[in-house]
A and B are shown apart, each in its own frame.
Chain A
Amino acid sequence: MSATTSITKAGGHSSVARLLMRNHIWVFLALTVVVFSASSPYFLTVNNLGNVLTQAAFIGILAIGMTMVMIDGEIDLSVGAILALASALAIGLQDHIGIWPAVFVGLLSGAALGFLNGTLVALSGMHSFIVTLGGLIGIRGLVFIYTGEDALMVSDFSYTDYPEIYLGPVSLTAMIFIALALFFQWILSSTRHGRETYAIGDNIDAAHDAGINIKRHKIINFTLCGALAAIAGILLSMRLGTAEPNAGKVWELWTIIAVVLGGTRLQGGYGSMWMTIGGVLTLAVLRNGLRLLNTPNYVELMVMGTVLVLALLIDKLLSRQEA
């Protein structure tokens, strides 16, 4: 059947160009780094970059779970509230049951709420936007009830020592973020579960026809997303030594922005942790750089909003060219 050989491959871009197009966020990140390095002498220092990484870690860990859920074609708006709940439980319970059991309960609460989100989405057929919007409001309410509307303070200060562990300029928090991101990238690229995530988000009918258990699959990803939000909450409580009932408010939006900025598709089927790391770092670099330049807070928001729209516009143009 040699006749088929005359069918040639569509699209003529070289693999390097393709790689850059598909990971445009890193090009963008490099540009911002160059701009800020030129405009502030404090930006390109080892200490500051270490700081950026630590600041990025919290949104970053949320973004890892969000990426999993979003490649599936879903969204999770409850991550900020889950973060607050896990942080409150981890601090609030440690006087009663000890530090590590409290941390474990915090983690478990995140996983359980993620499981609940996933189950509701998968079994009811409701859109995850609605389900997790309910979660966002309801879980936040739960946090206020548990904390009694006041910030909980840690009493055993050894708890706040962990974030002070550094490897050179890199904090433990940042190391955990990087490790988790790499691990989940491996899940996405090398495990059956990861590849099925793409298949489901890309063409749910094809995935269903191929016998993939879509419901179970989505529940797993929502559970992972909840658990990761809890990890971020616990790390935050260690860093601050307190658990604010308002912790992580609107962080779900920053998380979604970071993931989308990275290039992961909101409709699902396409994305990676590399992209998400790029998006998270770009947001963190922008914020840090603007602060170093003493930009007023509202101007910062304006700039970041503009950057987001611009980055997505570039993404749209590039993907059209590639098609």
Chain B
Amino acid sequence: MADPILTLSGITKTFPGVIALDKVSFDVRPGEVHALVGENGAGKSTLMKVLAGLYHPDAGAIIYQGQPVQIDNPLAAREKGILLIHQELSLSPELSVAENIYLGAWPTNALGVLNKRKLRRDAQAALDAMGCSFGPDDRVGTLSVAMQQMVEIARSQAFSANVVIFDEPTASLTDTEKDQLFTTIRGLQRQGVGIVYISHKMDEIFELTDRITVLRDGQVQGTVTTKETDATAVTRMMIGRTLEAYFHKADSTFRDEVLRVEGLSLKGQFGDVSFSVRQGEVLGFYGLVGAGRSEVVETLFGIRKADRGTLRWQGAEIPLPTPRQAIDLGMALVPESRKEQGLVLMMGGMENTTLPHLASYARRTVMDRGKERATFDEYKDALSIKTTGPEQPVSTLSGGNQQKFVLAKWLCAGPKLIILDEPTRGIDVGSKSAIHTLIANLAERGLAVIVISSEMPEVLGVSHRVLAMAEGRLVGEFEGEEMTEENLIDAVSHHLARPAAE
């Protein structure tokens, strides 16, 4: 077996309060496709950024072509022959294909004048080597996503890359485009390029890669040969947890059905999803990232338009709502990315709380500050939010307290169903348990609650019933005694292990 072209040994990287990478060791051989898998927050992107020279490790060594090296910045990485293909493509849409391939390294004469002929010729050679149908003069903005990706990959030819790192390259590709990408990757492989392939998709990993390294919580869980393992084993390595936490499960009685969903489908995202949730019940949605959980609830809330499916709200069939109609019905969606979608960070807590309900806090058009203040105080106490006052900008609060304001904002509308998408992501342990208690309180007050979480102990701990999702399908429903980590892992990994049917 060939010697590794790139070896990382004992790489450690800490950020304030977090160890993102803990003595990570990892290597790539020439002509090998090496998968790097792990859940969100496992440390994949940090590791990748270390390789690309965007982060500098606190400890550990990078050995490249037998020599210890230091990678100062992305350009240095590229000049050494280490190329990162970003998930969100790193291209300038207004520039030409040739200019993008050589971005930052354009050939010039002594006066800084571009040598356009050389630029074109070299780019054409790189494109020819990849079998691309477009030319060096095409403007990148006019190309499809798949072609833009080819432009990035063409940099591997232009800079004679020895190592190419792909970060979730198939995220926005169609099936045909994916096959073409795989052909290209195999071509690179034949040239002896070492390839790091980061993905959540088990079928791709087992189709394409030679070895798999699993990261969890910043540590390497193991490196295995792809032929000698299966998706179940890899999934177990990814999600098996040891951390035990205390969870407060709602002690509530289930009453009338609030929402029933039948055969909800959205092409390319999820298909044939059916479930129901009752008053006082906490329904958990478990699945790996990309399983389609967020997409399902966003569709319920009208943010995405479903292709098929019926909704019954409190027993009556209703058309799929718009977000405004969903709010009026009594649905509340607390999104995963609270900064982007949930809060106006420059505003104070009080203004954030009343933002979606301004009409009920205004006399004609003038705001009733007293009434707003009363609501603010009510929720500040109920959720024990730590803030200096109604005016303190929420940007200055901790993640946990921000999340509580997002909750307050939706609760003060008096919803009947509240959907929480990853309610504790990025929150410290103390606030986590406060949020869990809060979820229980909501159910005890008679609300129907849907909790989406990738953290298995959390979803098992707070829910009365858990639905498992994988690749846009419901793959299992567990209640009472059946709600165990084993069952959830089995449901998800068996689905992922099965050969792709589509």
Q: Which single residue of chain B is at the shortest CB-CB distance from A194? A: B114
With contact pairs A195-B114, A198-B92, A203-B93 given, residues A4 and B132 touching in the complex (Cβ less than 8 Å): yes
Select the residue from A8, A207, A209, A270 with max chain B CB neighbours within 10 A.
A209
A191 within 8 A of B: yes
8 Å CB contact of B179 from A3, A193, A211: A3
C-alpha spacing A206/B54, complex, angstroms: 12
With contact pairs A4-B150, A7-B146, A210-B105 given, residues A193 and B180 touching in the complex (Cβ less than 8 Å): no
C-alpha spacing A207/B90, complex, angstroms: 8
Q: Which single residue of chain A is at the shortest CB-CB distance from B91? A: A206
Set of chain B residues within 8 Å of A211, measured between Cβ atoms: 73-76, 78, 104-105
With contact pairs A7-B133, A212-B104 given, residues A202 and B92 touching in the complex (Cβ less than 8 Å): yes
B177 within 8 A of A: yes
Q: Which single residue of chain B is at the shortest CB-CB distance from A270? A: B94
Residues 266-283 of chain B: 1 if any A CB is under 8 Å from the residue's CB, otherwise 0? 000000000000000000
Set of chain A residues within 8 Å of B132, measured between Cβ atoms: 4, 7
CB atoms of A191 and B112 under 8 A apart: yes
C-alpha spacing A103/B90, complex, angstroms: 45
A95 within 8 A of B: no
A269 within 8 A of B: yes
CB atoms of A3 and B183 under 8 A apart: yes
CB atoms of B95 and A1 under 8 A apart: no
A294 within 8 A of B: no
With contact pairs A195-B106, A210-B104 given, residues A202 and B133 touching in the complex (Cβ less than 8 Å): no
B242 within 8 A of A: no
Q: In the assembled complex, how far is the CB of residue B379 from the closest CB belonging to chain A, in whole angstroms?
A: 35
- Prevailing SS type, chain A contact patch: helix
- From residue 69 to 116 of chain B, which have CB atoms closer than 8 A to chain A? 73-76, 78, 86, 90-95, 99, 103-106, 108, 111-114, 116
C-alpha spacing A137/B352, complex, angstroms: 36
With contact pairs A2-B131, A10-B144, A199-B95 given, residues A206 and B90 touching in the complex (Cβ less than 8 Å): yes
Q: Which single residue of chain A is at the shortest CB-CB distance from B147? A: A7
8 Å CB contact of A5 from B78, B95, B131, B142: B131
Residues 1-32 of chain A: 1 if any B CB is under 8 Å from the residue's CB, otherwise 0? 11111111111000000000000000000000
Interface size on A, residues (CB 8 A): 32
CB atoms of B144 and A7 under 8 A apart: yes
Set of chain A residues within 8 Å of B143, measured between Cβ atoms: 9-10
Set of chain B residues within 8 Å of A4, measured between Cβ atoms: 130-133, 150, 180, 183-184
With contact pairs A8-B133, A211-B75 given, residues A195 and B99 touching in the complex (Cβ less than 8 Å): yes
Set of chain A residues within 8 Å of B105, measured between Cβ atoms: 210-211
CB atoms of B75 and A210 under 8 A apart: yes
Set of chain A residues within 8 Å of B75, measured between Cβ atoms: 209-211
C-alpha spacing A5/B150, complex, angstroms: 12
C-alpha spacing A122/B370, complex, angstroms: 45
With contact pairs A4-B150, A206-B103, A211-B74 given, residues A195 and B133 touching in the complex (Cβ less than 8 Å): no
A306 within 8 A of B: no
Select the residue from B95, B105, B183 with max chain A CB neighbours within 10 A.
B95
Which B residues fall within an 8 A CB radius of A? 52, 54, 73-76, 78, 86, 90-95, 99, 103-106, 108, 111-114, 116, 130-134, 138, 142-144, 146-147, 150, 176-177, 179-180, 183-184, 187
27 contacts between A and B (CB under 8 A): A1-B183, A1-B184, A3-B179, A5-B131, A7-B132, A7-B147, A7-B177, A8-B133, A9-B133, A10-B142, A11-B142, A190-B116, A192-B112, A194-B114, A195-B114, A198-B95, A203-B92, A203-B93, A206-B90, A207-B104, A208-B74, A209-B86, A209-B104, A210-B105, A211-B75, A212-B103, A269-B92
- Besides A199-B95, A205-B90, A209-B52, 18 other CB < 8 A contacts? A1-B130, A1-B184, A3-B131, A4-B133, A4-B183, A9-B143, A10-B142, A10-B143, A195-B114, A199-B99, A202-B93, A203-B92, A206-B92, A210-B78, A211-B76, A212-B103, A269-B92, A269-B94
